[in-house]
Amino acid sequence: MRPTFTLGIEEEYQTIDPVTRDLRSHIATEMLAQGKLRLEERVKAEMHQSVIEVGTRICRNIGEAREDIYDLRRNMIRLAEEHGLVLVAGATHPFADWRSQEIHPDPRYAKVVEDLQLVARSNLIFGLHVHVGIEDREAAIRIMNSLRYFLPHILALSTNSPFWLGMETGYKSYRAKVFENFPRTNLPDTFNSYSEFENYVNLLIKTNCIDDAKKIWWDVRPHPYFNTVEVRVCDIPLRAEETIAIAALIQATAAKLWQLHERNLDFRQYSRALLMENKFRAVRYGLAGKLIDFGKEQEVPEKELILEYLAFIDDVLDELQCRDAIGYIRTMLEQGSGADRQLRVFRETGDLKAVVDYMAAETKVGL
């Protein structure tokens, strides 16, 4: 049976002091409580108090997802302003220090901090997660296996974290480097079946590695509670339109891979070791770098590969009604990722506060 390919999008935002431009905890101001009153379960806390997460409803198509994510951004910007704060979409803060940030008082987060200590406390990062509805669990595993190949390309488009602790890191996604300190992150291995994945999870639970499968934080995973494949590799982009383009790309990729499986074709599987070479290049250079085409055994400029990628998924776009959303990716290739644009502002001004102001302005674009 054909999957529904429904969409769910989660974005994590920074709450910023408008004077210092530093991160500021929002829990004390009851911003989270008011957000829940207005937006119900679409708003929730994250581990650090200066992180606020929103999630769309289950959306039937990218049009519904766009309406929902735009509505959420508009509401959260308004709510932040009511509390004397500024909302920013960036995957790291340019100069904030994680050591001065408070942890949200919740038993779940207390347990993560107890287990992971400094690694958890320093995990002051902001991501974009995209769920695609794939109800058949066996199909979900097959699609996850093949989807791994495209994750470095998708990450490069989203890169939006070039600074850390007031330093230019040299990476386009420093968020990815911070997060890989957690266990059970990065690209997963392949699994031959859903039962093989379940056996892996059950072994970890039995041996007290994890208490449930939500503590498997791979770049893509079959969600433990929803019938979705969840892509977790992305930085949160600056603009809502970028989020929608990336979500549409992920949905279209899943649909294309399902189409191949349905025809008894497959996308060639490469080892995790090889795919991690491409992930490093995406993290380090973003759209400006070269990834490896493992079929040709050649380096190819990332922007050329994205155009090839768009051609690969083209025949599923009309059925999914996402051609317009995907079209924005060409604009992203021209203007650069959020990391490229943050760096441009810093080169022009030499001022990280100016970078924060730019990020705040970009967070509102198009809303």
The 3-state DSSP class for residue 355 equals helix
> What is the end-to-end Cα distance of the chain in Å, rounded?
37
Kindly list the domain boundaries of the chain, sorted by start residue: 7-363
Read off the tokens for 353: 């506060």
Q: How many CB atoms lie within 10 A of CB 140?
A: 26
Of 221, 216, 246, 217, residue with least CA distance to 231: 221
Residue 231, H or E segment: strand 228-235
Average pLDDT over residues 32-53: 76
Secondary structure (DSSP) of 35-55: HHHHHGGGEEE-SBTTEEEEE
Q: pLDDT-derived band of residue 26, with 50, 70 and 90 as boundaries?
A: low
CA angle 77, 82, 83 (to 5 degrees): 100
pTM: 0.95
What lies within 8 Å, CB to CB, of 15 at 6+ separation is: 23, 24, 25, 26, 31, 50, 51, 52, 80, 85, 86, 87, 88
Q: For a pLDDT cut of 90, what percent of the chain falls above it?
A: 80
Tens of pLDDT, residue by residue over 319-339, are 999 999 999 999 999 999 999
Determine phi and psi for 29, rounding to 5 degrees: -90, 5
Give the fold, CATH level 3, of 7-363: Creatine Kinase; Chain A, domain 2 (3.30.590)
pLDDT at residue 109 tops 90:
no
Q: Which residue has the tokens 């989203």?
A: 158
Contact 88, 11 (CB under 8 A): no
Report the chain's mean pLDDT, rounded to a whole number. Answer: 93
Tokens standing for residue 63: 């049009």
CA distance 66 to 41: 18
